[in-house]
Structure 1
Amino acid sequence: MGRQGQVQRVVILAIMIALDFLLSPIFRIEGMAPMSSVMNVIAAVLMGPTYAVVMAIVCALMRMLLLGIPPLAFTGAVFGALLAGILYRLKSVVWMPIIGEIIGTGLIGSLASYPVMVLYTGTHSQLFWFVFTPRFFGGAIIGSVIAYLLLLKLTQVDQFKRAQRYFLTK
């Protein structure tokens, strides 16, 4: 892949980052970020695990620095993006990244949030291991259902398929 393909990858990644950053606070439920899950799943299908994780990390940093979101932005997004991308690459069916997002964000991300928040707040007296799990699962399920419905149509669009090829070729 030449320079044009590399530029197209970066442009698509930048668009996905912008969409994730702009949509997440607009469609937010207190303690849940379903639009982050939507974008994780779409990024996993469109760009694969590496670029999906890059998107999640950049968006988490932007949310923390510009919106004052705690470090849960990292734990909530990165594991879901990674697992969604890996599962989609293993079997390219639309429901595989949904499972990855729900397990990655809902379970792994929620459990990883406990030690992060203990370090962040300096206390663990009011926290316990599963405190984040219901909200992370809720956000991941809501976002994954929305992503599934969107992907049913997006995967039929020629431009989406063409964009996928930019990330599949080396």
Structure 2
Amino acid sequence: MNRTYKLTFMALFAAIGTFGSSLLWFPAGVAKAYPVQHIVNVLAGVMLGPIPAVIIAFVTGLLRNLMGTGSLLAFPGGMIGAFLAGYLFRKVKRTWGAPVGEVIGSGLIAPLFAVPYAKIVMGTTVGAFFFLPPFIVSSFSGALIGLILVHRLKKTNRWNFHYEK
């Protein structure tokens, strides 16, 4: 894939993540679940790889925060999940690796990272179990939809999945 094509997809995914998060969300405990970012993480992890997926998650989080539609917790959650989605997909060479990586990264590791991050950046001292349920609900729902979309894209034969056996 040439660089221009890859950058175009990165910009498209960042736009979908930014705009889609304002359209599709649902309450998850004490927080709101934004599954669109997790969908984008799975798609970008499979199609572009872990580093572009992390860049997309960062740009999406930055744009959402600048527009006032996101929280600072979008950074660790989105970026850790995006990296693990792309990394696990490349490691196992199966499409199920991306959603599993997304749920592990955004649903399990990110809440643990969010505790000191929330204390330093946001000034709050809540525990990891406060963040765990909404992060898991959001990442699982988005990862499942992302997996369905990856399988649908695979069936169209319009995308070259280099790592799939």
For normalisation by structure 1, the TM-score amounts to 0.87
Q: Which amino acid aligns with 2:19?
A: L
- Determine the structure 2 residue equivalent to 1:9: 6
Q: Please give the alpha-carbon distance, in whole angstroms, between the structure 1 residues aligned to 2:99 and 2:69.
A: 28
User: Mapping of 1:60-79 within 5 angstroms?
Assistant: 60-79=61-80
* Matched pairs, number: 159
- What's the % identity of the aligned pairs? 31
Q: Please give the alpha-carbon distance, in whole angstroms, between the structure 1 residues aligned to 2:96 and 2:66.
A: 33
Give unmatched runs, 5+ long, in structure 2.
Answer: none
Q: Which amino acid aligns with 2:99?
A: I
- Determine the structure 2 residue equivalent to 1:25: 22
User: Mapping of 1:36-115 within 5 angstroms?
Assistant: 36-115=37-116
Contact persistence 2:45–2:89 (CA under 8 A): yes
The CA deviation at 1:24 is 1.4
Q: Please give the alpha-carbon distance, in whole angstroms, between the structure 1 residues aligned to 2:128 and 2:12.
A: 35
> Which range is displaced more, 35-44 or 111-120?
111-120
The CA deviation at 1:68 is 4.6
State the structure with more CA Rg.
Answer: 1
Tell me how large the CA RMSD over aligned residues is.
1.6
Q: Please give the alpha-carbon distance, in whole angstroms, between the structure 2 residues aligned to 1:79 and 1:123.
A: 21
Q: Please give the alpha-carbon distance, in whole angstroms, between the structure 2 residues aligned to 1:60 and 1:123.
A: 20
Deviation digits for residues 46-93 of structure 1 (CA, Å, limit 9, x no counterpart): 100010000001101111111252210101100100001000011221
Q: Please give the alpha-carbon distance, in whole angstroms, between the structure 1 residues aligned to 2:123 and 2:74.
A: 18
Q: Which amino acid aligns with 2:101?
A: G
For normalisation by structure 2, the TM-score amounts to 0.90
Contact persistence 2:22–2:69 (CA under 8 A): no
Q: Please give the alpha-carbon distance, in whole angstroms, between the structure 2 residues aligned to 1:70 and 1:40.
A: 17
- Determine the structure 1 residue equivalent to 2:135: 136
Q: Please give the alpha-carbon distance, in whole angstroms, between the structure 2 residues aligned to 1:60 and 1:100.
A: 19
Deviation digits for residues 84-131 of structure 1 (CA, Å, limit 9, x no counterpart): 10000112211111110000000111111111111233242xx11221
SS of residue paired to 2:155:
coil
